[in-house]
Each structure stands twice: as structure tokens, then as C-alpha cells.
Structure 1
């Protein structure tokens, strides 16, 4: 399985490199700037936030709940990153109201609430299992 996943990853990497090399030359500078900004944002914004959050979870969340809380925070972060452009209306065109036809803020709130409920249920199940073992 490891070899299969590695081969799939290399194939996707090769496809991405081919896409970069096949792009018109006037787009290359913009793509390089995007890659540099993404790298800097990852290393100086995302990683410190993840490490600070992990430190806070380790310090303030009981050991039995740490796994579910970490998973819930990871899911919530991924949902927020994907939904945020829609919530703030990035790319919205005034003369095309059908481009963003949903209430994305409400949808994000519902998904975050569902994530919190699943996380709480997971923690409750772990606590019940721990009490039964005693």
C-alpha cells in the first residue's frame, strides 16, 4: 500500500510539474510569486498557529479528550479555510447574483456546530469507556 500511495503521489507531482512547465511563459512569474507567498505563509503563519494551538490543547485539555479535540480542531480549520472565501464573498460580481446563491456563513456555522457535537460525543464515549474499565 505504501508503494502504491508513493507512486500515486509521484504521478500527481509529475502532473503538477508538467502543468507548470506547459503554462504560458507570461504566467510563470505569477506562479513563482504565488508559490513563494504560499511557502512563507505556511512557514510563518500556519505552522506557528498549529504549534500554539497544540500547546494550548496539551496544557488545558484533559488527556482523555486531547485526541478528539485535536481532530475536531483540524476538521474545523479545514472547513473554515475552504468556506471562508465564500463566506466573505471573494470574487462576487454585482451583476451576477447567482454566482453565490447560498448563505455560506450559516452553512459554515452549521458544519462547525456539527463538528463540535461529534467531538463532544466522541469525548463522552471515551469517558464512558474509561469508567466501565474501572
Structure 2
């Protein structure tokens, strides 16, 4: 019996390291994105579904169990599944996001934030709003 090929041994070691990196990097980042998504679901100043989509992507590479939990979530799973399958955003979700954008800029302005914060918030929501307007949508959400 001949000794194993050194190139094959290096490949196996690289795969083992890669699995470890995915588990120790992607999974914690997935939980951070999931937490931000959950916060975004209850606050008007932060998007929620975007972070859930990111969390599902990270969990797809590190934890199939948590990916499945997001995809099968009774309330938010359909948003992530629709985005993955068709790249669509429900019309209702777009309107809610636009209203949240207006509310966010209004709150930042009303609390007397520095002009740079008002400008940064306005530019951010305009950029995301324009991008979102260019995405295809489902008629109802």
C-alpha cells in the first residue's frame, strides 16, 4: 500500500479548516444578523428583512438548522424564500420600508441630531429606497 498523496492530504486539511472557519465565523455573524433583523422588525429606524436574508445566507454556510428555522418561520420566512427564489420584495413591505425611512429621518431631525447625522441618515435611506424601488415586487405581501 502506497502512502497517501501529499496534495490530497493538504486538500483534506484545507477542507477541515474551511469547515471550522465557517462554523466559527459565519455562525456568529449569522446570529448577529439575526439579532439585528429581529430588532429591525420592531423598530422603524432599521430594516429587518434585509438582516434576515443575510442571516439565512450565513447560516446556509454554517448551520442548516438555523437556516431552516429562518426559512420556515411562519411570519418572515416567506420574505426570505421569495427573495432567494425570485429576487422579489412584496409591495406591502416596500411601503412599510418607505414609511419607516420617512419616520427615521424625521426622528433624527426632531431630536436635534448634528447635521452630519441628518445628512447621513437621509443619504442612506435614499440609497436603499432607490435600490428597493428598482427591485421587482410581488403584488401583495
**What range describes the TM-score normalised by the shorter chain of this pair?**
0.3 to 0.5
Higher relative contact order (CA 8 A, sep 6+): 1
TM-score (norm 1): 0.33
